[in-house]
Amino acid sequence: MMRWIAVSLLCLPAALSAAETFTLPPIKKLRFEEDYSALRDLPRSQHWPLCWKFIPLDPQGESYLTLGGEIRQRYEYTKDPQFGDAPQDTRGVWLQRYSLFGDWHLHNGLRFFGQLTSALEAGRSGGPSPVDEDRLAWQNAFVDLPLYRNYERTLTLRAGRQEVVLGSGRLVDVREGPNVRRTFDGLRGIATLPDWDINAIVARPRRDRPGTFDDGTNDELALWGVYATRKSLPRGGNLDIYYLGYENEDAIYTQGDGQEHRHSLGARLWGERDNWRWNWETLYQFGRFDHGDIRAWTVASETAYRWPENCWQPQLRLSLNIASGDKNPDNPDLQTFNPLFPRGNYFSEAAILGPRNFYNFHTFVDLQPREQWGLTADLNFFWRLQTEDGIYSPSGQIVRNPDGSKERFVGAALSLTSDYTIRRGLVFTAIHTFFSPGSFIRETGPSEDTGFTELTLQFRF
């Protein structure tokens, strides 16, 4: 321990030359995916923050420690939440998130990763929601056991508490938008081949509780399956194919509640070429819900084109999506699509609606006035697919039951986003979303216009 402290103290007064000549890897959503091993070849008297990213534990630097963390401050204000059907916060909500992590690599490929996170809330009417506050918990605490290593082929077993993102996060994501990120307890096999990356997982999500070290494993929910990515297809792009199993002992739909056992088979085509970028995905679900059969499906797409030579480098993105809904609540069979463990801000940071029983048209315009400054305007039109089913939040809660309405149009949302990178890891974001309810909302209950404002300052180091 004293040796680590001594090495770290030597870093602080050193010159800027190492930092100026070495490009650090990008900061990622999953912090354990960052690789700082290339710092082994730099002098040990590195300038902050390089010294904390590679602390050698032996003379050769084969064993090393990486330290880092996050400070996030977020203010949110929602006017007339759930169209006036939920309690109104008086002055908005202040959300704080802090984390520290240590990543210990041993010379034989063994690895230990631990991350402590504290999420705090103030101002929520009725007290914090389950995704607002968790005063202190292990966000990640896992060990990587190398089972096979040979050139471009590796096989690793990851055991313990771990964050998981599969593909673009449509089905399994850490839920970055809310204050408390999602994590799982379980096992994961990670295989890297010349043309394929393969992940096998058996896990249960953490049961979030607001106290200190009081979280447990949620035994009511389970996830298992295999997710494979074919890298660099002959004609460009990449291909994901996957099977995911899901279990929920107390699932709730418009039809009712019961035990859910669901299987998902899907494929995703994604990549970029020249100025084009695409992300297309489809999947089919089957299984059992209570006493009925599950038959559900979805198709999701986003296609983008950028004009990099033009002023502000404009980019246009078009997203068309559809997901099945239940056709008859009196029939025990269920057709409502389940996105499993999706990102919390599925359509926008306002997180009003989730991808069940819907079809939508979502268009984005991205601008880059400066390298460190980005602007986005997006417009989303949202309809129900089946009039016998309701609408749901990203977490799966019922936002509005059908109540006999035959109207499909749920509403339209306009969002404006500005993000400015002050320095590496330090980003300020401002978002405003205006949601105008449609005929279905007006027919079935309160139908006030909903406004959402968010200001976030996030520092990741």
- Confidence category of residue 52, pLDDT binned at 50, 70, 90: confident
- The residue written with tokens 């449509």 in the block is 170
Hey, what amino acid is at 428? F
CB distance 142 to 162 below 8 Å: yes
pTM exceeding the 0.75 threshold for the entire prediction:
yes
Domains and CATH numbers, the chain: 1-62 (no CATH), 63-460 (2.40.160.100)
Instruction: For residues 336 and 317, give the distance between their C-alpha atoms in angstroms, rounded to a whole number.
Output: 27
Task: Read off the pLDDT of residues 427-446 as tens digits, 9 standing for 90 and up.
Answer: 999 999 999 999 999 999 99
Q: What are phi and psi of 4, to 5 degrees?
A: -60, -45
Q: What are phi and psi of 32, to 5 degrees?
A: -75, -5
Higher local confidence (pLDDT), 336 or 38: 336
Closest to 435 measured CA to CA, from 410, 418, 417: 410
pLDDT score for 17: 46
Q: Which of 6-10, 54-58, 148-152, 446-450 has the highest mean pLDDT?
A: 446-450
- Confidence category of residue 2, pLDDT binned at 50, 70, 90: very low
Task: Read off the pLDDT of residues 142-182 as tens digits, 9 standing for 90 and up.
Answer: 999 999 998 889 999 999 999 999 999 999 999 998 999 99
- Confidence category of residue 15, pLDDT binned at 50, 70, 90: very low
What does the buried/exposed string (b/e) look like for 247-272 if buried means 16 or more CB atoms within 10 Å of the residue's CB?
bbeebebbbeebebbbbbebebbbbe
Instruction: For residues 266 and 264, give the distance between their C-alpha atoms in angstroms, rounded to a whole number.
Output: 6
- Confidence category of residue 378, pLDDT binned at 50, 70, 90: very high
Sequence-ordered strand ranges (E) for 172-275? 184-192, 196-207, 216-217, 221-230, 238-253, 256-273
